[in-house]
Amino acid sequence: MELLSEHASFGGAQRFYKHESVEIGLPMRFALYLPPEPKALLVFLAGLTCSEETFTMKAGAQRLAAELGLALLMPDTSPRGANVAGESAAWDFGVGAGFYLDATQQPWAQHWRMESYLTRELVPLVQREFGLDAARTGIFGHSMGGHGALTLALRHPGLFASVSAFAPIAAPTQCPWGEKAFSGYLGDDRSVWAAHDASALMRARPSAPFPSGILIDQGLADKFLTEQLQPEAFECACKAAAQPLTLRRQAGYDHGYYFIASFVDDHLRHHAAQLLPKS
């Protein structure tokens, strides 16, 4: 790992790194906040058009993370610089942004491997290098990253002990963003898509995968709510699986980082309650 920069923050250190990714086959960047006494790791997955800097600089999460002892890992959202035709133009809510899955279709299959990158490479690397307990790792995210947090938590039992999301794309097989990305990355077989749809994954569970609960915040002034996000689909799936879910519909809040900054402390406390040793 190459340390690009380091900044003192609330008694800890906000760092930015670059490394050569085996899974992606390209250099990847990530941000890592290390509190004064790291006790657990919390992974944040950002949304479309974002990078490792977005949540790090806009959410204001470091203050409470330092107090709670939560290390914060913020990976980039997608491969960059692969020189794939259409890559730069495809970031407008579709193929090009990573969607936290492993692509199977050309020209994306070689580098667009965000699921394997996170679960098999980056998270284990950070746990190992910084002495963080793998059993005390949680995941959360926003929009496309909320989709990623929910699906990776459901697809990799035991890897993440807690999960939450801000305005997730909750049923991507049923919305334009998901249909565009999934058809490009996974092909036209919709039965394959379901394996990356949080609502479909939850409906297939015979029992609650996170008995201590999942937290989701959704702004009611979010312009993407009805067509793209569909939190009610995930809510129904959780009821069918007897999965405890706190879905908070926040009046007046939109899809942006003022919304995230307003409620990020609640999410940090949600994860701390499930990850940290009880006193």
Which residues have a catalytic role annotated?
143, 222, 255
- Cα separation, 144 vs 166, in Å, equals 10
Buried-state track 165-195, b at ≥16 Cβ within 10 A, e below 16: bbbbbbbbbbbebbebbbbbbbeeeeeebbe
Please state whether 261 falls in left (phi above 0), alpha (psi between -120 and 50) or beta. Answer: alpha
Tokens for 30? Answer: 């990530």
Beta carbons of 193 and 226 less than 8 angstroms apart = no
Element (H, E) at 214: strand 214-219
Listed in order, strand segments (DSSP E) in 143-212 are 162-166
Strands 70-75 and 137-142: unpaired
